[in-house]
Amino acid sequence: MAEMWISMGPQHPMTHGLWTLKVKIDGETVVDTEPDLGYIHRGVEKICEARDFTQITTYCDRLCYASANTWSHAYIYAAEDLLGVEVPERAEYIRMVAVELQRIASHLMWLGAYCPDVGNLTGMVWCLREREMMMDLLQELGGSRLHYNFPRVGGVKRDLPIGFAMRCRAKLKLFLDRIQEYEAILDESTIFLIRTQGVGYAKAEDMVNHGVTGVNVRAAGHNYDVRWAHPYSIYDELDWTVAVERPSIKGSDCYDRYRVRVEEMRNSAMMVLEGLDKMPGGAETNHPSGDPAIIAKAPARAPEGQTGFHHFEDSRGESMFYLVGGGEGRGKHPYRVSIRSPMFITIPYAAKCMIGYKIADIPAIMGSFDPCIGETDR
Amino acid sequence: MAKEVSAQQTADAAEAIVAATNEKFGDAAVAEVANHTGGRRKNAYVFITVEADRWHDLAAWLAKSQGVDHCSMITGIHWPEKAEATWQIVAHLMRMGVCNPKRIEGRTHETEVDISNLSGANVPMEFEISMSLPATREPSVPSVADIWVGAEWNEKETWDLVGIDFEGHVGMRRVLLPHDTPTGYHPLQKQHRLRYHDFNEMYDDPQGFGRKPDDVGKVK
């Protein structure tokens, strides 16, 4: 049969955002793919060159609409590396709580979007129900529902509100029970298993060489997590486990990538519970904004020649900011901001991963890598 | 059992890599141990300044003998005021350190190895590699996409936004900007300015078509 190119996207249920996947097909079989990105390129890196270090946080929140908190934290750690700021321990605990809650919310958003991709609509409404709980908690911290703008250079915007720890514990305990419900409906759903198992095999060595990181590579059995390899924040003080799958000899399939995310949600919930218990000063204490217990003073300017970078475990992989000091206003702005987006690297790999499978498998494979176009296009 | 890599392990591994690099490359690649300045741990990492034409040699050697298996990011910086180093290319590499989990029953495992005993090429490491090019209209460095495929899209992006070309890169094209962007328009070069700086070219002509004549002679 004659081969032909078809365009999936820019508006297609498979894409989870605005981009095009050009697929070369032979009958029903995919023989070549070519991703086409950049539809929502906003020039965040250029815009940041004209903003001071506090203002940039707001833009970093907008990088990913499903995982805003992890992105603003990724920037903040790089900015602290550039400016040489040491953060109070309590602030690090609060940040860890915020980031892990966001990671749960992001994975729930992924699972909620993935279930209808593979024909399970119930999964979507259940996941979004629990995501509401996480967003309520994050709203208590940051004040808004989607873009929290929560961390500050040197600490956090606000301390934990009164009663937050109690509500957080209650909701996470409920959530830990509900994870078992997802496993019950998905692991025993024939259609879910048929569409995810044995589809989209990816090997760990290939993934690492292609620059794929985070949950996707842990699904393939490669136990790599920035949180233990280059510990930042207070992850070295918590007792936690990395979620790693045991894939088959052919590599990890879509089902492994679903399993590892469910497992990671469970681990993140445990980390938040542990962090609330261990928090210095107690989780029920509430310091006023600007208190030295939650925010340290940070210089506003970075001289030329100073650089800072930080690898950060985002919900989708390893994100990184590279900042160069000495921009406009005698160093008040960064001279250059460079962003490593995990999905920008993963999408080309995911597209290669589809070669050899059927057209009907494309949504299952693409969805299992959790694409987010906001951070991809920046 | 410690589940995290300690600061001492990282510092020891960094020193070993620095010594090996300096011995192998001499003046062509000057390596040093650098430390993060923010945060609680102040981890060590390896900082290497390399001559641009030796970049591919260094990358191949790092991948082969130092176990650097992951290219995190390659990016470019435009310094129009520095005649000797107008174009800076910065590469961030990672050594992930191999630690596959045990094949035991159950889905989540403890890590197979005791991380507090990791040594040699098993310790994860961050690398920052910097190289500079003098003022030229066609800045170009060797591509490392043949060593780490992950570098391919980073290099595409660097050419697209900063205008630094990579020799040996197959299929260089626009990734983030529209495909019909005028040749020679690379927005992260410093002659393009934002309205915030009292310029408005970005907003008056977002596609950049009318800008084409102005660019002649200014950029590559």
Q: Report the distance separating Cα B7 and Cα A26, nearest Å.
A: 53
Residue B48 and residue B30: Cα distance in Å, rounded? 6
Matching residue, tokens 């070295």: A236
A230 and B126 in contact by Cβ < 8 A? yes
The residue that leads in pLDDT, B1 or A234, is A234
Architecture of domain A43-340: Orthogonal Bundle (1.10)
Mean pLDDT of A310-338: 87
pLDDT at site B191:
82
pLDDT, residue B104, reads 45
Q: Which of these, A350, A311, A273, A246, lies nearest to B126 by C-alpha position?
A: A311
**pLDDT(A113) > 60:** yes
> Which pLDDT value is given to residue A121?
86
Tell me the mean pLDDT in the region A42-61: 88
Beta strands at B125-133 and B44-50: parallel, antiparallel or unpaired: parallel
SS3 A8: strand
Q: Are B28 and B54 in contact (CB under 8 A)?
A: yes
Q: In angstroms, what CA-CA distances link A135 with A105, A370, B16?
A: 7, 19, 46
Query: Position A287: which residue type?
Result: H
Q: Are residues B108 and A244, on separate chains, in Cβ contact within 8 Å? A: yes
Query: Which residues 31-70 of A have a C-beta within 8 angstroms of B?
Result: 37-38, 41, 43, 45-47, 49-51
Domain-wise residue ranges, chain A: 43-340
CB atoms within 10 A of CB B217: 8
pLDDT reported for residue A172? 93
Alpha-carbon gap, residue A258 to A220, rounded angstroms? 11
| Chain B CB contacts of A46 below 8 Å | 187-188, 192, 194
Tell me the pLDDT band of B130, cut-offs 50, 70 and 90.
Answer: very high
Check residue A76 and give its pLDDT.
Answer: 92
Q: What is the DSSP letter of B54?
A: G
B27 burial class (0-12, 13-18, 19+ CB within 10 angstroms)?
exposed
Instruction: Spell out the domains of chain B, with CATH numbers in brackets.
Output: 7-100+108-153 (3.30.460)
pTM: 0.87
Q: What does pLDDT average to over chain B?
A: 79
Q: Note the pLDDT tens digit of each residue in A61-108.
A: 888 888 899 999 999 999 998 888 889 989 999 999 999 999 999 999
Closest alpha carbon within chain B to A323: B77
Residue pair A28/A6 in contact by the 8 Å Cβ criterion: no
- Give mean pLDDT, residues B86-94: 92
According to the model, what pLDDT value does residue A243 have? 80
| Interface confidence (ipTM) of the complex | 0.86
* Phi–psi pair at B75, nearest 5 degrees: -145, 165
Q: Mutation target for B interface from A230, A239, A297, A314: give the one with most B CBs within 10 A.
A: A230
pLDDT at B77: 92
The string of pLDDT tens digits covering residues B97-108 is 755 544 444 444
User: Pairing between strand B140-142 and B165-167?
Assistant: parallel
Using a CB-CB cut-off of 8 Å, the residues of chain A touching B74 are: none
